[in-house]
Amino acid sequence: MNHHGARAAVPVALALLALGLLLVAVGAAVGSAGWEPLWSADGTPASAVLWEIRLPRTLGAWLAGALLGLAGAVAQGIFRNPLADPYLLGSATGAGLGVALLLALMGVSPLAAAGWPGRLGLAGAGFAGAVLAVLLTLALAKGVQHTLRLLLAGVIVGMVLGAIASLVMFWVPAVLRAMQSFLLGTTGLLGWPSVSLLAVVLVAGLVASLAFSRSLDALSLGEDTAASLGVALAPVRAALIGVMALATGAAVAQVGLIAFVGLVAPHLVRAATRATARWLLPLSALTGGALLLAADVLARGLLAPQELPVGVLTAVLGGGYLLWLMHRRPA
Amino acid sequence: MSTVAIAAERLHVTRGGVEVLRGLSVALPAGRWTAVVGPNGAGKTTLLKTLASLLPYQGEVRLMERDARAWSARERARQLAWLGQNEGAAHDLLAHDVVMLGRLPHQSWLGAASAADRAAVEAAMRETQCWDWRGRALGSLSGGERQRVLLARALAVRAPLLLMDEPLANLDPPHQADWLRIVRAHVQRGGTAVTVLHEITMALHADDMLVMEGGVIVHQGACSQPATHRALERVFQGRISVHAIAGQWVALPNEYVTVAPAPDGARGNAVAGEILR
């Protein structure tokens, strides 16, 4: 009797896993010249491209999407608002500012930065910027007690850091081109180190957020009710904001500003199943992964050998879905 | 001499820079139903929330004769169930999952629901007659149906102390009568109920009444006592009066009472003038 939600959730989880695997196979097969055979003879250049470029990029896109989906579900849970998204506390603009500053100081473009040090340096700057922005938001909001104050502080931090990043780009126009690929979102810079990093953060984030899944359910009944049920609001909120900041920061640092995935993934899950947080969190991660990877495959394949910025594609698809949702459900 | 379920001493509570409770002391007896009544802004909800340890306060709250601050959150949650007004949305949760949240203080961390949990949930949902839509999402229910699910959530805690703020919101008359029966049954099982109610006639069904005005308690007494009725009529400025009808106490509005200019007399006069015109 207790498992109405769970009974519906298991097939959805299996379907999403299968979809993810299918997309990984497709993603590995889509190259600069469109469809290419997956299995060529060993030792040919084709397999090097597959192993060194396409596979990490494909897995990394799925992982980054999963992190955004998870962060979105956590954000919508703690802020008790279906329109909350992972970038709410300023992490996106913080990452943007971090990358812009590093580019301006080092005078390198990410594509020119040869090898892993350059790429990881940029990712590190983005991650540090994202985490610092969230810490700044928390400081301005004087802690996690008031969700409305947190939201406002997040908006303020986002605007101010965004303005500073724009100023950096204005002063150092050489940065502009490189920044654009970050702002539009790109999976082109993902390598194996990124993949392992994203995987570690995803597992840690899932474990940590699942530990608080009951508290998230209780929170949906209101903060007073949750507190009356023995939920310690401040520590729970702090831990979940930590999960959200780390997951978002890791994803944004690796793939740039991917729009809408974190916002839409939990909505898609809720449309398919009425699950408690225990299921909503992992299902949102699976959905986010499938969404970003599907968008990435499309972005690579649609105009091959030209490549669309994947963030543009997720924005168009996500916006379209929300519009459809809005018209289907009259207010 | 009955034991005290929950008590407060020299309670000061400030909300948004305004002192809502001003040095209030009260003791609520166990095994009885106390209704908290008073005009808007009297501090009823603030008192109830403070008793439930949901607001920061100065002074002392004693739960079961022990300082409320000395209880762990989980222990307290097993002793005291809370039903607030206009709280969460939880649109996407199933009614059964919502009621199961009432078992949170009894379950181990991440532990699955036990047979006792499921039995408590089913009993609570049958008591408020919402078992039939246990598989429906809260957002798909009407306001009254949702309120019955939320009431079942509070009952599922099986706490001896039940604190409810405006629990009758959205309930139609038959379900208001059912609610009375549910609270009465809770008290007969030895439980204690404290409710904030705007409908004075419903509040008069309680055992005791706590009449509040301006952040202090102006009267505490049995609902059947004339002194309680007079205190009620006084805090509502004579605009209601208590009558005995069909063996029950009933509060009826006095339509044509002109209110003497008090601190907010201008508003009272305007209302009276509106009625008389």
ipTM of predicted complex: 0.86
| Average pLDDT estimate for A148-162 | 92
Question: Is the model more confident about B29 or about A177?
Answer: B29
pLDDT band for position B1 (cuts 50, 70, 90):
very low
H or E stretch covering B21: strand B18-29
| Average pLDDT estimate for B236-265 | 76
Nearest CA in chain B to A273: B92
- The pLDDT assigned to A79 comes to 87
Nearest CA in chain A to B72: A230
Please state the φ and ψ torsions of residue B129, each to the nearest 5 degrees.
55, 50
Q: Could you read off the pLDDT of A84-94 as tens digits, one per residue?
A: 888 889 988 99
CA–CA distance, A108 with A320 (Å, rounded to integer)? 36
Which has the minimum average pLDDT: A226-235, A276-285, B102-111, B114-123?
Answer: B102-111
Task: Tell me how many residue pairs between chain A and chain B have CB atoms under 8 A apart.
Answer: 96
- The pLDDT assigned to A6 comes to 61
- The pLDDT assigned to A39 comes to 56
pLDDT surpassing 90 at residue B205? yes
Q: Identify which of A210, A211, A225 has the shortest CB distance to residue B88.
A: A225
pLDDT surpassing 80 at residue A58? yes
Q: Identify which of A2, A80, A232 has the shortest CB distance to residue B100.
A: A2
Nearest CA in chain A to B112: A2
- Which pair of structure tokens corresponds to residue A201? 């953060």
CA-closest candidate to residue B183, choices B28, B27, B32: B32
pLDDT surpassing 90 at residue B212? yes
Q: Could you read off the pLDDT of B80-132 as tens digits, one per residue?
A: 999 998 776 678 889 999 999 999 999 887 778 889 999 999 999 999 999 99
pLDDT surpassing 50 at residue B12? yes
End-to-end Cα spacing for chain B: 53
| Average pLDDT estimate for B198-214 | 93
Q: Identify which of A2, A211, A274 has the shortest CB distance to residue B93.
A: A274
| Average pLDDT estimate for A109-130 | 69
Contact A228, B52 (CB under 8 A): yes
pLDDT surpassing 60 at residue A311? yes
| Average pLDDT estimate for A106-130 | 69
Q: Nearest C-alpha of chain A: how many angstroms from B122?
A: 9
Q: Nearest C-alpha of chain B: how many angstroms from A118?
A: 42
CA–CA distance, A110 with B160 (Å, rounded to integer)? 64
pLDDT surpassing 70 at residue A211? yes
